[in-house]
Amino acid sequence: MSVNKEVKRITTHILQEMKNRGEKIAMLTAYDYSMAAIVDNAGMDIILVGDSASNVMAGHETTLPITLDQMIYHASSVVRAAKRALVIVDLPFGSYQGNSKEALSSAIRIMKESGAHGVKMEGGVEIAESISRILTAGIPVMGHLGLTPQSIYKFGTYTVRAKEEAEAVKLKEDSLKLQELGCFGVVLEKIPAKLAKEVSESLSIPTIGIGAGQHCDGQVLVIHDMLGINKGFKPRFLRQYSNLYDIMNDAIVNYVDDVKAKSFPNDKEGY
């Protein structure tokens, strides 16, 4: 399907219209200027500056260590590249869980210092006050339910969430709460497809799935995963669209060989 590149800037209102008319929403992460320029030019609706930067950019095991300053650095690079996509930034672990005043000041810093268009926060009813305060300041908020990686030490594993009835019921209540508060959308990560379908149908705001089946209103992936840069990371939900690890590795090995063999640079590749 062709993408309408005539649209000046995707807004939360356009995303809502997309859900209303059944048009799927495409979302992908990016963390730097060059990648974000490619992603934006490809017709992405939402670029997520995810705290997965902690894993794929900084090499941490979890998303917990990344700081607000580091998120702002990544986000401002992405914002400079994004001409069409809506840019949403994760509030990192520790920047909003303390109290709603701190949450608001973190969100304001992201908006002011990076120029992004909204924030994403993990959690449901327990962070309602913070979400509400941020929304009152006019900052669009996207929720994130299901597998919420900032709580990995509570879960103990990255396995599918909400398979049990009690957790599924809480997730449904949380999703309704996020909508009632005024969130413009909700990411549903690694939950059963049947539950994601039920939530997507019960909400009027868009749901964006990752490992949540085909019935969400949109999909999101981590760019390093779908481009095959993370060799060996192949969860069932991931569709790998390229094999950049091998492509880049071949190019770099060729470069090393050429330098060692004194064939680069040749007499035309200089001044």
Residues that bind ligand KIV (CB under 6 A): 29, 48, 50-52, 90, 187, 189, 210, 220, 222
Q: How far is the CB of 185 from ligand KIV (least distance, A)?
A: 11
The distance in angstroms from the start CA to the end CA of the chain is 47
Q: How far is the CB of 53 from ligand KIV (least distance, A)?
A: 7
Token pair 């990016």 in the structure block, residue: 30
Q: Which of 6, 164, 189, 201 is catalytic?
A: 189
Which single residue brings its beta carbon nearest to ligand KIV?
Answer: 50
Between 187 and 196, whose beta carbon lies closer to ligand KIV? 187
Residue type present at position 112: K
State yes or no: is 189 an active-site residue: yes
CB 127 within 8 A of CB 121: yes
| Cα atoms found within 13 Å of the Cα of residue 25, Cβ hemisphere only | 34
Reduced to 3 states (helix: H, G, I; strand: E, B; else coil), residue 187 is strand
**Please, which residue, 40 or 265, has the CB nearer to ligand KIV?**
40
Taking the complex as a whole, how short is the minimal distance between the CB of residue 26 and ligand KIV, in angstroms?
Answer: 13
Q: Which residue do the tokens 């930067």 mark?
A: 53
- Tell me whether residue 50 or residue 124 sits nearer to ligand KIV (CB atom): 50
Q: Which is nearer to ligand KIV, 90 or 217 (CB)?
A: 90
Q: Enumerate helices (H) and strands (E) in the chain, giving the number of each.
A: 11, 8
> Which residues are known to be catalytic?
189
